[in-house]
Amino acid sequence: MRFRSLLFVPAKEKTLSKIGQANADAYIIDLEDSIEEPNKQAALEQAQNWLRQACLQDHVIFVRLNKGRYKEEVRQLGSFGNIGFMLPKFEDCREYREAEDIWKEHRVIALIETPLGIVNIDRIAGCDWVDMLAFGAEDYTAYVNMANKSEYLRYQKSVLVTFAKAYGKQVFDTPSFELADTVKLREETEETVSLGFDGKLAIHPRQTAVINEAFSAADIPYMESIVKAYEEQGEAVLVYDGKPYEKMHIARFKRIIKENGGI
């Protein structure tokens, strides 16, 4: 399944009750950054209560765990078969090995938020129980004492995309902190699309519509016309509207067409 928008939802009763209203492709129940330290156990109980009552067939749900508490959290949540897990500050598969049998039964997003995570990305992307990768720029930039600006992070983002694609895994860009400026959010998300990401994390419900639109903005009829012309011509290179297209372009167009509901 392809995800364009993945919305973080704090594990609190008020916010959990609104899951489904934002039209995100997936929801990430958050036990980590959005929960104050004294409230971690209460948040875990809130997440369990919501999962017991929810119809998990209606939504795609992940839970972001706490790195220092993950063993107890996954022990209590692992019985919910239709959810996935996001593992934060991911730097090496061995860090989370004590729950490896559980990870193999659930979809796992490795959240890369440190320089060591970038350095070890080959091993992380190649881990057989890691299904997807995501970038957390806020923690990363704080760790290295740099500005959290997209133009400074293209290397890190390109590394994630490159290794995710090499191992056939989906990869998601960091959340935007533009909550009110839709124009800036759209610009950020269009850059995310251009860098090759499959989707983008979100921290507010109003962001999901912009993200979904950006990842669905391809001119599908035009791509279909190029694919049709290429296949009818039967040659290695098609010149269409003054531009050359080869088989690698056609393969990409076919993938995008399929991802947007085409044949």
Shared-domain flag, residues 82 and 121: yes
Shared-domain flag, residues 18 and 137: yes
When computed from its CA atoms, the radius of gyration of the chain, rounded to whole angstroms, is 20
Shared-domain flag, residues 251 and 203: no
Shared-domain flag, residues 202 and 249: no
Residue 90 is predicted with a pLDDT of 98
Number of domains forming the structure of the chain: 2
Shared-domain flag, residues 123 and 231: no
Q: Is 54 left (phi over 0), alpha (psi -120 to 50) or beta?
A: beta
Residue 114 is predicted with a pLDDT of 98
Q: What is the pLDDT of residues 123-132, one digit of tens each?
A: 999 999 999 9
Residue ranges making up the domain that contains 9: 5-215
Shared-domain flag, residues 11 and 129: yes
Q: Which residues, including other chains, have CB under 8 Å from residue 204's CB and lie 6 or more apart?
A: 7, 179
Residue 94 is predicted with a pLDDT of 93
pLDDT of 56 strictly over 80: no
Q: Which residues, including other chains, have CB under 8 Å from residue 160's CB and lie 6 or more apart?
A: 112, 118, 121, 133, 135, 171
Shared-domain flag, residues 160 and 244: no
DSSP letters spanning 146-196:
----GGGSHHHHHHHHHHHHHTT-EEEEPPP--SS-HHHHHHHHHHHHHTT
Shared-domain flag, residues 203 and 227: no
Q: What is the pLDDT of residues 132-169, one digit of tens each?
A: 999 999 999 999 999 999 999 999 999 999 999 999 99
Shared-domain flag, residues 146 and 235: no
Shared-domain flag, residues 249 and 122: no
Residue 219 is predicted with a pLDDT of 65
Q: What is the pLDDT of residues 207-263, one digit of tens each?
A: 999 999 998 866 677 778 888 888 889 889 888 888 898 898 888 888 877 877 665
Two tokens, residue 129 = 């129980």
Give pTM, 2 decimals.
Answer: 0.86
Residue 201's CATH number: 3.20.20.60
Shared-domain flag, residues 116 and 163: yes
Strand bridging mode 243-245 / 238-240:
antiparallel
Residue 157 is predicted with a pLDDT of 98
Residue 261 is predicted with a pLDDT of 66
Q: Among candidates 133, 48, 119, which has minimal Cα distance to 88?
A: 133
Quote the CA–CA distance of 89 and 7 in Å, as a whole number. 18
Average pLDDT over residues 46-65: 90
Cα dihedral across residues 121, 125, 128, 129: positive or negative: positive
CB 192 within 8 A of CB 176: no
Quote the CA–CA distance of 41 and 219 in Å, as a whole number. 47
Shared-domain flag, residues 163 and 182: yes
